[in-house]
Structure 1
């Protein structure tokens, strides 16, 4: 079956080349007759010249002729269908076009073009219906032929551009409205002609000549027309202006997009940038967002407009342009945005009211001033011609100001645009204020966190340490995981990692209490299992007082986990104990990774059997990795723990240029940016003190050996180049060795350790701890420990399985 082009149709279009012309005078009398008119109508020139054209029409159309003549005079022409009487008495429907044919100095004449439509059956329609469609309908209506040329249109179509109907005949859409997307519209017409399927509700958005700076929207419907034999003969289409509805949809879409994209984070600068991003390019061509300096710090502001801008500077928090690299900007993001006194942005801040200007003075300077390294430019140079300024206000407080500009390609801002801008900024203002409040709360929380975690790890020679902490609570950045490094006597160090149930401020506060308790117990030089036993008692007592069950999951010390490790760099011995906490991993010098077989005690405060400690010797260059269970797969099944350990082992086996980088790499590999559980990792590379840093002597139980001990200590200090400490050291050795020989049984051993301090240790087999006394002036003894405490920086006692060690410490880095 062929398409409509294959049918033998008459050309259903109005073309001057196919029309029969004749001339009328101003009163409608025929003054000129042509051979084409004679062949078309069958009248000789002598029969019609000098007669009224109404005599050639049917009686009904003859009555319409005065009105047609009047419309010709008013509109400059007329086009439509008329019934004309032929010379043989038959009537024929003709397409008639009347246009002016005036010549300079002559009287008014009208050129009439007649085109027969008899070869295209179906064009003869009810005149009354056509008149109603043409004259009364507010909808633009037109008919095009199979070549998409206009054959008829009503007066209402003129409002969409292209001139009156008489100027459209025989032309295509692109001919009468250049610049319009005629190809898209004609594609719809061709589709209708080819398929016969009507197209309803086709929306066309663009700019037309009648509104060159204003985006318009029309909805069009297309229907194929057929002759009496069902053959396609053209397309009938309607046009309705829906610009206002389209703009309303755009406004709603913009607000919906603002609700979706603004405030996706609690970062103030990012929120301000999101406001600028949403508004460009659909609403404005260039947008700036300036916030008050205190807002960026999260500070509280006085409600109401800003009174004194000299003391409340603005800062550019976001900006966006339709052009890449924002060429209109004279202030970069992050810089101070100072405005001229009395300028519109300053007035909006001081009054709290919006401001709109449809047409900016092209030669006026941009309002920003005092820009270090900046530039000045006129609005003409920046290409900006219309502006809306809206203060950013939330909960009665002014936070900043947003400025929307349009370039010459867009229509100026109107009152509806101002209302939309205010609605848009109002929504963004709530997000900015939420971000400000979050900034304030988070800063306070981070201050608390920094006060509870170590500010910096202590400098010592026992281990090289690196730590990494990642909280699960994104809002506050707080959690219950913690770590610590505590210096102990005898150059030893305690490594601690713990975990408090829960997240947030409550967990951080509980963690702070537990960490303080650990440091207090560490100062007593207790073995790891005893430290955990005291912590267990403390957590249980705290839970009873607060009425919190250890397994409730509430933030508190009860139910906490902790692993406590003591490392001695003198002999490489390491002892550790755990309370409901994963065992540490050990990275051996060859890079292989093992996990310590450490008995798992009950969580703190939960009760249970006594804690057990294990001891192991670490080769120099080994690395201890203490971690919380956030680095492992959570689960009660053994396979889950094994799988987590396998992942941790593989991560720890990866080498890095530094211990700090290695620590961060492990956490990044095993923990997402926003983990479900807090993560803490403490890595300690072990060291051994050299043989030239330690000296010890076994002493017999003879008071006479005190003098020999002093001499041996003095000789060792000379070898170390520490002669200036000889007097104090001899005094300490004399007092401590004398007390050991006098008050204990068994062997006595003297040891000197040179690290960052000089440590003097005396071991004996006694179990009684010495006490510092303040003797009276009449007492003969009791001043030994008092002198030791006065001449050294620190002293103390620690118990070992075979007895006790009394030690005293002198700094080598601080003035004596």
Structure 2
């Protein structure tokens, strides 16, 4: 059948169906051409040799070439380059397999000034028998969809990448890292100076001229085009885009297309130079606000190879900045609370150790670096009567201000109980009751006001430099380490007891004699226990650290912390190191006395002779008075054996021990009372006095300062004693007071 060579329709004959099909084909020909030319795809058709058969105008414009320059040539001949060689390989793959290929790419093509996202489809063209006769390439600009997906992915990533720590600087850095390079080429986070200072940021409008501190900045190219260094403070004028964003509370989008942009930054030549040098043309400033408080501003910039920011970018920048603002405010609040708790903690710890002769001491407190905050670990050194000393280490359960406050209450309680010279086991018993009352008070105040699970551990040790005896008890605490002068390291086997606050179980103490120069190491569990290892492993690390002895206890503390503590401890730790001393034999004088009133004068004489031998005869008047009072009352109201002891240390201590457990008490005698004035006299003439119970009775002691001695011209409330030459003239001083 003959065909019209122009329209491919039958000439004359043919069936009716054939004629109708030919007519439809003739009518659809221009429509097919329109579809090819007006397709949103850039379209090209290649034969089995990858020679271009047909290309539409959109493809030509994309490559900045005419159809004649492309048709009849292979793709790699018309468009050399690795990306087109890759496209040719995909086309050959489709010809060989007959299966289409879908790819996405983000690149700059000759017909576009900037990089764009493209969806590339390569599909086979088959005849009526299913044979692949050609290949079809369609390229579609999907930049907007691509950017929308990127923005969504950026927001999702920011939800986990920003706020991983409660550190203001690190959180600001995380915001910068998230936006580079997908949203901006340069990112800057400036925080109001009040944000990083001691003052609390105030809600409301920000002044026109503000002071901001550079918290973080970064650049996709590596070098940051900034006139301000990290951590530095800069003053920004009212016209500056960042300040406009702060004062208005709204994002400010500007750049070289804005006539007012360059005048707004011209006050700083370095800033103008950085902008011009790096080709920064689009600026977006977003205020950082959280909970009604303005914290600072985030500035995003794009360079010459990027399109200017568009409204969708502003929305994403606001979303990211809002996320960062909440995290920054959380970090600010945490940092401030941590600083407050740490300041409270350090103020409650000993600022300096008291002067005493029993031990040489050094201590350390190391706060945790975790988000839990400051805890309630503490240590203390408490001078006791008779030149003895108490060493205390404790740990309050929990973290934060409540733990620090509870620690302060416990430390005060321990000092109060130590002042009445309780043995370690009895002191912990009283402390256990006190912690129980603290917990009851917390329950009564209601949830959220205090920590209802208040508990604590404590170790209390008393060392006597005269007898070299050390008594130790612990409540739920780690055992102390002991380093003897020969270098042996061991952990003292102190009976284990439950933590404070549980109640119901007694505490036990252990007594041991320590060689001179022994080192006691007291610590909290934060020193030896962490997430990386258990308690036993930590104790072994401490043992190894203590084998490296040092004459300096300060150096010993540093060695222990450096060897035992992890780089970032999750719990705070307290460490107290004490090296024992002993008083010389000639610093102590002891006499056993019979229960005979006639021995009082002999006791005074012995005391006077001993004071003269020590070269402190000026203290004889007061000391004889104290000895007369205490010995007389022991003879009258107590039972034997009676022992008198003088200790010459930083003070002069007079002790009288007897076998009675009845303790004296201070009272003011009435006008016509014959007794009751003796103990008041002792209290006024000495620096301090008290009673401590022993295993076989009690000891009454009185301390005198050696700084100023000499017989007084008169004693308040007792008339003028200036004419008395000998205390024997007073008769029996026991008549002055009743200590029974």
1:136-175 counterparts in 2 under 5 A?
A: 136-145=38-47, 148-171=50-73, 173=75
Indicate conservation of the 8 Å contact 1:744/1:765, yes or no. Answer: yes
Residue 245 (structure 2) pairs with residue 348 (structure 1): yes
1:691-730 counterparts in 2 under 5 A?
A: 691=584, 694-698=587-591, 702-706=599-603, 708-718=605-615, 727=618, 729-730=619-620
Residue 632 (structure 2) pairs with residue 751 (structure 1): no
Question: What is residue 282 of structure 1 aligned with on the other side?
Answer: 182
What 5-or-longer segments of structure 2 have no aligned partner? 10-27, 445-449, 636-640, 711-740
Distance 1:749 1:145, change over 3 A: same
1:435-454 counterparts in 2 under 5 A?
A: 435-454=331-350
CA distance in 1, matches of 2:235, 2:211: 7
Deviation larger for 419-428 or 126-135: 126-135
Question: What is residue 272 of structure 1 aligned with on the other side?
Answer: 172
Aligned-pair CA distance for 1:567: 1.2
CA distance in 2, matches of 1:649, 1:449: 28
Question: What is residue 69 of structure 1 aligned with on the other side?
Answer: none
Indicate conservation of the 8 Å contact 1:775/1:781, yes or no. Answer: yes
What 5-or-longer segments of structure 1 have no aligned partner? 1-56, 64-125, 549-553, 635-639
Deviation larger for 468-477 or 262-271: 468-477
Match of 2:689 among 778, 795, 799: 795
Indicate conservation of the 8 Å contact 1:760/1:808, yes or no. Answer: yes
Aligned-pair CA distance for 1:255: 1.6
Question: What is residue 742 of structure 1 aligned with on the other side?
Answer: 632
Distance 1:379 1:578, change over 3 A: closer
CA distance in 2, matches of 1:499, 1:357: 56
Q: Secondary structure at the match of 1:516?
A: helix
Q: Secondary structure at the match of 1:433?
A: helix
Q: Secondary structure at the match of 2:333?
A: helix
Match of 1:333 among 220, 230, 244: 230
Distance 1:262 1:797, change over 3 A: same
CA distance in 1, matches of 2:80, 2:705: 92
Match of 1:322 among 209, 220, 224: 220
Indicate conservation of the 8 Å contact 2:241/2:264, yes or no. Answer: no
Aligned-pair CA distance for 1:590: 3.4
Distance 1:814 1:318, change over 3 A: farther
Q: Secondary structure at the match of 2:6?
A: helix
Indicate conservation of the 8 Å contact 1:220/1:239, yes or no. Answer: yes
Scaled by the length of structure 1, the TM-score of the pair is 0.72
Question: What is residue 265 of structure 2 aligned with on the other side?
Answer: 367
Q: Secondary structure at the match of 1:278?
A: helix
Question: What is residue 393 of structure 2 aligned with on the other side?
Answer: 497
Question: What is residue 760 of structure 1 aligned with on the other side?
Answer: 653
Question: What is residue 485 of structure 1 aligned with on the other side?
Answer: 381
Question: What is residue 404 of structure 1 aligned with on the other side?
Answer: 300
Distance 1:176 1:330, change over 3 A: farther
CA distance in 1, matches of 2:58, 2:102: 19
Deviation larger for 531-540 or 734-743: 531-540
Residue 460 (structure 2) pairs with residue 564 (structure 1): yes
Aligned-pair CA distance for 1:700: 5.1
Aligned-pair CA distance for 1:251: 1.3
Aligned-pair CA distance for 1:210: 2.8
Match of 1:219 among 106, 115, 119: 119
Deviation larger for 389-398 or 785-794: 785-794
CA distance in 2, matches of 1:443, 1:388: 34
Match of 1:538 among 411, 431, 434: 434
Indicate conservation of the 8 Å contact 2:286/2:318, yes or no. Answer: yes
Indicate conservation of the 8 Å contact 2:442/2:451, yes or no. Answer: no
Deviation larger for 127-136 or 401-410: 127-136
Indicate conservation of the 8 Å contact 2:265/2:272, yes or no. Answer: no
Indicate conservation of the 8 Å contact 2:211/2:236, yes or no. Answer: no
CA distance in 1, matches of 2:163, 2:405: 30
Q: Deviations over 1:714-734 (max 9, x none)?
A: 43543xxxx6xx53x323321
CA distance in 1, matches of 2:536, 2:414: 30
1:198-277 counterparts in 2 under 5 A?
A: 198-212=99-113, 214-224=114-124, 235-277=135-177
Q: Secondary structure at the match of 1:251?
A: helix
Indicate conservation of the 8 Å contact 1:501/1:555, yes or no. Answer: no
Residue 267 (structure 2) pairs with residue 377 (structure 1): no
Distance 1:282 1:175, change over 3 A: farther
Match of 2:193 among 271, 285, 293: 293
Indicate conservation of the 8 Å contact 2:588/2:646, yes or no. Answer: yes
Distance 1:739 1:209, change over 3 A: same
CA distance in 1, matches of 2:175, 2:164: 11
Distance 1:273 1:588, change over 3 A: same
Indicate conservation of the 8 Å contact 2:286/2:299, yes or no. Answer: yes
Distance 1:776 1:396, change over 3 A: closer
CA distance in 2, matches of 1:413, 1:378: 19
Q: Deviations over 1:259-299 (max 9, x none)?
A: 22111111112211211221222221212111112222475
Match of 1:518 among 411, 414, 420: 414
Aligned-pair CA distance for 1:611: 3.0
CA distance in 1, matches of 2:304, 2:335: 40
Question: What is residue 17 of structure 1 aligned with on the other side?
Answer: none
Superposition RMSD in Å = 4.2
Aligned-pair CA distance for 1:747: 4.1
Aligned-pair CA distance for 1:483: 3.2
Match of 1:189 among 87, 91, 100: 91
Q: Deviations over 1:187-243 (max 9, x none)?
A: 4234435x425343211211123322x321111122356799999765321111111
Indicate conservation of the 8 Å contact 1:298/1:437, yes or no. Answer: no
Distance 1:614 1:423, change over 3 A: closer
Distance 1:162 1:376, change over 3 A: closer
Indicate conservation of the 8 Å contact 2:374/2:572, yes or no. Answer: no
Deviation larger for 521-530 or 129-138: 129-138
CA distance in 1, matches of 2:668, 2:213: 64
Q: Secondary structure at the match of 1:738?
A: helix
Indicate conservation of the 8 Å contact 1:514/1:557, yes or no. Answer: no
Residue 517 (structure 2) pairs with residue 621 (structure 1): yes
Larger radius of gyration: 1
Distance 1:313 1:808, change over 3 A: farther
Distance 1:731 1:415, change over 3 A: same
